[in-house]
Amino acid sequence: MFSGRITPEQLRGRLAPGGPWVDLVCLGTTDSTNGVAMEMAEAGAPHGTVVVADGQTGGRGRHGRRWVSPPGRNVYASLIVRPEMPVSEASGLSLAAGVALADAAERAGVPALLKWPNDLYLGDRKAAGILVETAVGQGGARHAVVGVGINVNLAGDEIPAEIRGKATSLRIRAGREFSRAEVLALFLDAFARRYAEFAAGGFKAIHPAWERRDMLRGRRVLVLRAGEEARGVALGVAGDGALRFRPDASGAEERLFSGEILEFETILSREAKDTGCFS
Of the residues 20, 55, 61, 72, which one makes contact with ligand BTN according to CB under 6 A: 61
Longest dimension (CA), the chain: 60
Instruction: Output the smallest distance, CB 154 to ligand BTN, in A.
Output: 13
SS3 153: coil
Angle at alpha carbon of residue 198, lines to 225 and 193, rounded to 5°: 125
60 touches ligand BTN (CB under 6 A): yes
Whether the Cβ atoms of residue 238 and residue 250 lie closer than 8 Å to each other: no
Nearest residue to ligand BTN, scored by beta-carbon proximity: 129
Output 60 or 219, the one with its CB closest to ligand BTN: 60
Whether the Cβ atoms of residue 231 and residue 222 lie closer than 8 Å to each other: yes
129 touches ligand BTN (CB under 6 A): yes
In whole angstroms, give the CA distance from residue 210 to residue 260.
17
Whether the Cβ atoms of residue 193 and residue 26 lie closer than 8 Å to each other: no
Whether the Cβ atoms of residue 15 and residue 41 lie closer than 8 Å to each other: no
Give DSSP secondary structure letters for 47-60: TTEEEEEEEESS-B
67 touches ligand BTN (CB under 6 A): yes
User: Residue 258 corresponds to which amino acid?
Assistant: S
First-to-last C-alpha distance (Å) of the chain: 47
130 touches ligand BTN (CB under 6 A): yes
Instruction: Output the smallest distance, CB 46 to ligand BTN, in A.
Output: 19
Whether the Cβ atoms of residue 135 and residue 146 lie closer than 8 Å to each other: no
Output 102 or 233, the one with its CB closest to ligand BTN: 102
- Piece of the chain touching ligand BTN by CB under 6 A; list 128-136, 164-172, 208-216, 229-237: 128-136
- Piece of the chain touching ligand BTN by CB under 6 A; list 57-65, 90-98, 206-214, 236-244: 57-65
Of the residues 47, 62, 193, 217, which one makes contact with ligand BTN according to CB under 6 A: 62
In whole angstroms, give the CA distance from residue 266 to residue 252.
24
Whether the Cβ atoms of residue 29 and residue 53 lie closer than 8 Å to each other: yes
Output 73 or 194, the one with its CB closest to ligand BTN: 73
DSSP code of residue 216: S
151 touches ligand BTN (CB under 6 A): no
149 touches ligand BTN (CB under 6 A): yes
24 touches ligand BTN (CB under 6 A): no
Output 98 or 233, the one with its CB closest to ligand BTN: 98
Instruction: Output the smallest distance, CB 180 to ligand BTN, in A.
Output: 13
- Piece of the chain touching ligand BTN by CB under 6 A; list 42-50, 52-60, 102-110, 212-220: 52-60
Residue numbers at the binding site for ligand BTN (CB under 6 A) = 32-34, 56, 59-62, 65, 67, 76-78, 119, 129-131, 147-149
